[in-house]
Amino acid sequence: CSYCSEIEASKYLEKANHEFTQWTNRVIHANWNWLTNLTNENAEKKLAINLEFSKFLKCMWEETVKYPWSTYKNPDIKRQFKLMSVLGTDALPEDKLKKLDEIVSEMESLYGRATIPEYGDNNPNRNLSLEPDINDILDKSTDVNELKHVWVKWREATGKRVRPMYAEYVKLSNEAARLNNYTDTAEFWIRGYDVEDFRPRMERLWNQIKPLYLQIHAYVRRKLRDLYGDSVITRRGPIPAHLLGDMWAQSWERLDDFTRPYPTIDDVNPTSAMINQNYTPKKMFKVAEEFFTSLNLSAMPQTFWEKSILEKPNGRDLVCHASAWDFYDSNDFRIKQCTSVNFMDFITAHHEMGHIQYFIQYKDQPFIYREGANEGFHEAIGDTIALSVSTPKHLHKIGLLPKTSRTYEADINYLYKIGLDKIAFLPFGYLMDLWRWNVFKGITTEDQYNCDWWKLKYSYQGIEPPVTRSEKDFDPGSKYHIVGNVPYIRYFVSFIIQFQFHQALCEKAGQFDPKNPTSKPLHECDIYQSTKAGNAFKEMLKLGSSKPWFDAMELLTGQREMDAGPLLNYFNPLYEWLKNENKRTGEHIGWEPNKKICL
Ligand SMILES: C=C(C[SeH])C(=O)N1CCC[C@H]1C(=O)O
Ligand SMILES: [Zn+2]
Among protein residues, the one with the nearest Cα to ligand 1's atom 2 is 322
Kindly give the distance from the C-alpha atom of residue 517 to the centroid of ligand 1, in angstroms, as a whole number.
Answer: 30
388-403: string of b/e by CB count within 10 Å (b at 16+)? bbbbbbbbeeeebbee
d(CA 229, CA 221): 11
Among protein residues, the one with the nearest Cα to ligand 1's atom 10 is 491
Q: Is there a contact between 311 and 338 (Cβ–Cβ < 8 Å)?
A: yes
d(CA 508, CA 431): 34
ipTM over 0.90: yes
Atom of ligand 1 nearest to the CA of 378: 4
Ligand 1 pocket, residue 351 CB under 6 Å: yes
Ligand 1 pocket, residue 323 CB under 6 Å: yes
Residue 192 burial (C-beta neighbours within 10 Å; 0-12, 13-18, 19+): buried
Kindly give the distance from the C-alpha atom of residue 298 to the centroid of ligand 1, in angstroms, as a whole number.
Answer: 23
DSSP conformational letter for 71 = G
Catalytic choice (29, 396, 481, 588): 481
Kindly give the distance from the C-alpha atom of residue 491 to the centroid of ligand 2, in angstroms, as a whole number.
Answer: 8
Q: Is 333 left (phi over 0), alpha (psi -120 to 50) or beta?
A: beta
Catalytic choice (118, 187, 289, 352): 352
Ligand 1 pocket, residue 450 CB under 6 Å: no
d(CA 546, CA 76): 8
DSSP conformational letter for 469 = B
Q: Is 54 helix (H, G, I), strand (E, B) or coil?
A: helix
| Ion ligand 2: residues, Cβ under 5 Å | 379
Residue type, 539: E
pLDDT value, residue 264: 84
Ligand 1 pocket, residue 390 CB under 6 Å: no
Q: Is 336 helix (H, G, I), strand (E, B) or coil?
A: strand
Taking the C-alpha atoms of 223, 225, 226 and 227 in order, what is their torsion angle to the nearest 10 degrees?
Answer: 90
Q: Is there a contact between 138 and 462 (Cβ–Cβ < 8 Å)?
A: no
Residue 361 burial (C-beta neighbours within 10 Å; 0-12, 13-18, 19+): buried
Helices (H), strands (E): how many in the chain? Answer: 23, 6
Q: Is there a contact between 333 and 360 (Cβ–Cβ < 8 Å)?
A: yes
Beta bridge partners of 240: 464
Residue 558 burial (C-beta neighbours within 10 Å; 0-12, 13-18, 19+): exposed
Which ligand has the minimum distance to the alpha carbon of residue 320?
Answer: 1
Residue type, 470: S
Atom of ligand 1 nearest to the CA of 248: 14
Residues 6+ apart with CB under 8 A from 171: none
Nearest residue to 3 via CA among 57, 69, 61: 69
Beta bridge partners of 335: 324
Among protein residues, the one with the nearest Cα to ligand 1's atom 5 is 322
Catalytic, 321? Answer no
Q: Is the dihedral of CA 377, 382, 383, 389 positive or negative?
A: positive
Q: What is the 3-state secondary structure (H, E, C) of 366-411?
A: CHHHCCCCCHHHHHHHHHHHHHHHCCHHHHHHCCCCCCCCCCHHHH
Per-residue pLDDT of the chain (599 residues; tens, 9 = 90+): 778 889 999 999 999 999 999 999 999 999 999 999 999 999 999 999 999 999 999 999 999 999 999 999 999 999 999 999 999 999 999 999 999 999 999 999 999 999 999 999 888 889 999 999 999 999 999 999 999 999 999 999 999 999 999 999 999 999 999 999 999 999 999 999 999 999 999 999 999 999 999 999 999 999 999 999 999 999 999 999 999 999 999 999 999 999 999 998 877 679 999 999 999 999 999 999 999 999 999 999 999 999 999 999 999 999 999 999 999 999 999 999 999 999 999 999 999 999 999 999 999 999 999 999 999 999 999 999 999 999 999 999 999 998 877 899 999 999 999 999 999 999 999 999 999 999 999 999 999 999 999 999 999 999 999 999 999 999 999 999 999 999 999 999 999 999 999 999 999 999 999 999 889 999 999 999 999 999 999 999 999 999 999 999 999 999 999 999 999 999 999 999 999 999 999 999 999 999 999 99
Catalytic, 149? Answer no
Q: Is there a contact between 6 and 46 (Cβ–Cβ < 8 Å)?
A: no
Nearest residue to 269 via CA among 134, 400, 410: 400
Phi and psi at residue 559, to the nearest 5°: -100, 155
Nearest residue to 391 via CA among 369, 375, 410, 371: 410
Q: Is 181 left (phi over 0), alpha (psi -120 to 50) or beta?
A: left
Residue type, 295: L
Any idea how long the chain is?
599
Nearest residue to 469 via CA among 479, 480, 457, 481: 457
Nearest residue to 330 via CA among 298, 279, 365, 296: 365
pLDDT value, residue 405: 78
pLDDT value, residue 268: 66
H/E stretch holding 463: strand 463-464
pLDDT value, residue 310: 98
Count of Cβ atoms closer than 10 Å to residue 101 Cβ: 20
Residue 178 burial (C-beta neighbours within 10 Å; 0-12, 13-18, 19+): middle
